[in-house]
Structure 1
Amino acid sequence: MAKNSVQYLCSECGWSGGKWFGRCPECGQWGTIDEFHEARPAARARTGAAGMGMGAGAGAAGSGEGGRAPRAHTRAAAVADGVATPITRIGTESVTRIPTGFSEFDRVLGGGIVPGSVVLVAGEPGIGKSTLLLETAGNVARAAAANGGTVLYVSGEESQAQVRMRAQRINAVEDNLLLAATTDLATVLGLIGQTMPALAIVDSAQTITSQDVDGISGGSTQVREVASALIDTAKTLDVPVLLVGHVTKDGSIAGPRTLEHLVDVVCQFEGDAETALRMLRAVKNRFGPTDEVGCFDMSGEGIEEVTDPSGLFLSGGGPGADGENGGASAEGTCVTFTLDGHRSLPIEVQALVTSSVLPTPRRAANGVDANRLAMLVAVIYRHGRINMLANDLYVSTIAGGLAKEPACDLAVAAALASATKGVAIRRGMCAIGEISLTGQIRPVPRLEHRLAEAARLGFTRAVVPVSRRRGRPLKVDGLQIVEVNSLRDAFGALGIGAAD
Structure 2
Amino acid sequence: MAKAKNQYQCTACGGTSPKWQGRCPHCGEWNTLEETSVLPPPSNQRFQSWAAEEGKVQNLAQVTAVEVPRSAVGMSELDRVLGGGLVDGAVILLGGDPGIGKSTLLLQAAAKMAKTMRVLYVSGEESAQQVALRVQRLDVDAEGVQLLAEIRLEAIIAALRQHQPKVAVIDSIQTLYSDNITSAPGSVSQVRECAAQLTRMAKQMGIAIILVGHVTKDGSIAGPRVLEHMVDTVLYFEGDTHSSYRMIRAIKNRFGAANELGLFAMTERGLKGVSNPSAIFLSSYRDDVPGSCVLVTQEGSRPLLVEIQALVDDAHGFTPKRLTVGLAQERLAMLLAVLNRHAGIACFDQDVFLNAVGGVKISEPAADLAVILAMLSSYRNRPLPEKMVAFGEVGLSGEVRPVARGQERLREAEKLGFTHAIVPKANLPRQKSDFPKLNIVGVESLQQAVDAIRAD
Q: What range describes the TM-score normalised by the shorter chain of this pair?
A: 0.7 to 0.9
Post-superposition Cα deviations, 1:50-103, rounded to whole Å, max 9, x if no partner, equal xxxxxxxxxxxxxxxxxxxxxxxx9xxxxx999878778876543431111222
TM-score (norm 1): 0.76
Q: Secondary structure at the match of 1:206?
A: helix
C-alpha distance in 2, partners of 1:44/1:269?
42
Deviation for aligned residue 1:129: 2.0
Alignment match, 1:17: 17
Aligned partner letter, 2:160: I
C-alpha distance in 2, partners of 1:4/1:85?
41
Deviation for aligned residue 1:214: 2.1
C-alpha distance in 1, partners of 2:400/2:64?
51
Q: Secondary structure at the match of 1:260?
A: helix
C-alpha distance in 1, partners of 2:326/2:208?
38
Structure-2 change in CA distance of 1:475 and 1:229 (3 Å): farther
C-alpha distance in 2, partners of 1:192/1:219?
24
Q: Is the 8 A contact 1:137 1:172 kept in 2?
A: no
Deviation for aligned residue 1:348: 0.8
C-alpha distance in 1, partners of 2:310/2:224?
44
Identity rate, percent: 43
Alignment match, 1:198: 166
Q: Is the 8 A contact 1:100 1:106 kept in 2?
A: yes
Unmatched segments (≥5 aa) in structure 2: none
C-alpha distance in 1, partners of 2:258/2:324?
30
Q: Secondary structure at the match of 2:204?
A: helix
C-alpha distance in 2, partners of 1:10/1:460?
54
Aligned partner letter, 1:455: E
Match of 1:255 among 220, 223, 234: 223
> What's the Cα RMSD here?
3.8
Match of 2:132 among 154, 164, 185: 164
Post-superposition Cα deviations, 1:303-337, rounded to whole Å, max 9, x if no partner, equal 232332213322437xxxx9xxxxx5433321112
Deviation for aligned residue 1:209: 1.5
Alignment match, 1:62: none
C-alpha distance in 2, partners of 1:355/1:4?
64
**Alignment pair present for 1:121 and 2:94:** yes
Matches within 5 A, 1:43-442: 44-46=44-46, 92-141=65-114, 143-144=115-116, 149-316=117-284, 329-353=288-312, 364-369=323-328, 372-373=331-332, 376=335, 393-402=352-361, 405-436=364-395, 439-442=398-401
Alignment match, 2:435: 477
Structure-2 change in CA distance of 1:212 and 1:368 (3 Å): closer
Structure-2 change in CA distance of 1:212 and 1:474 (3 Å): farther
Unmatched segments (≥5 aa) in structure 1: 48-73, 75-79, 323-327
C-alpha distance in 1, partners of 2:242/2:267?
12
Deviation for aligned residue 1:420: 4.4
> Which range is displaced more, 174-183 or 455-464?
455-464
Structure-2 change in CA distance of 1:363 and 1:210 (3 Å): closer
C-alpha distance in 1, partners of 2:361/2:266?
18
C-alpha distance in 1, partners of 2:16/2:108?
38
Q: Is the 8 A contact 2:138 2:269 kept in 1?
A: yes
Alignment match, 2:36: 35
Structure-2 change in CA distance of 1:401 and 1:253 (3 Å): closer
Alignment match, 2:449: 490
Q: Is the 8 A contact 2:312 2:351 kept in 1?
A: yes
Alignment match, 1:71: none
C-alpha distance in 2, partners of 1:260/1:376?
34
Q: Is the 8 A contact 1:36 1:220 kept in 2?
A: no
Aligned partner letter, 2:387: G
Q: Is the 8 A contact 2:167 2:209 kept in 1?
A: yes
C-alpha distance in 1, partners of 2:176/2:54?
40
Alignment match, 1:61: none
Q: Secondary structure at the match of 2:44?
A: helix
Deviation for aligned residue 1:153: 0.9
Q: Is the 8 A contact 2:6 2:35 kept in 1?
A: no
Aligned partner letter, 1:280: I
Aligned partner letter, 2:372: A
Structure-2 change in CA distance of 1:374 and 1:223 (3 Å): closer
Q: Is the 8 A contact 2:310 2:354 kept in 1?
A: yes
C-alpha distance in 1, partners of 2:179/2:381?
70
C-alpha distance in 2, partners of 1:150/1:213?
31
Q: Is the 8 A contact 1:467 1:473 kept in 2?
A: no
Bigger Rg, which one: 1
Q: Is the 8 A contact 1:281 1:291 kept in 2?
A: yes
Q: Is the 8 A contact 2:172 2:211 kept in 1?
A: yes
Q: Is the 8 A contact 1:335 1:348 kept in 2?
A: yes
Deviation for aligned residue 1:242: 0.8
Q: Is the 8 A contact 2:328 2:363 kept in 1?
A: yes
Structure-2 change in CA distance of 1:89 and 1:128 (3 Å): same
C-alpha distance in 1, partners of 2:417/2:427?
26
> Which range is displaced more, 471-480 or 130-139?
471-480
C-alpha distance in 2, partners of 1:367/1:129?
22
Alignment match, 2:425: 466
Structure-2 change in CA distance of 1:409 and 1:35 (3 Å): closer
C-alpha distance in 1, partners of 2:337/2:181?
62
Structure-2 change in CA distance of 1:435 and 1:475 (3 Å): farther
Q: Is the 8 A contact 1:22 1:33 kept in 2?
A: no
C-alpha distance in 2, partners of 1:95/1:406?
34
Deviation for aligned residue 1:432: 1.6
Aligned partner letter, 2:390: A
Structure-2 change in CA distance of 1:299 and 1:427 (3 Å): farther
Structure-2 change in CA distance of 1:201 and 1:357 (3 Å): closer
Deviation for aligned residue 1:127: 2.9
C-alpha distance in 1, partners of 2:318/2:175?
55
C-alpha distance in 2, partners of 1:2/1:215?
15
C-alpha distance in 1, partners of 2:360/2:354?
12
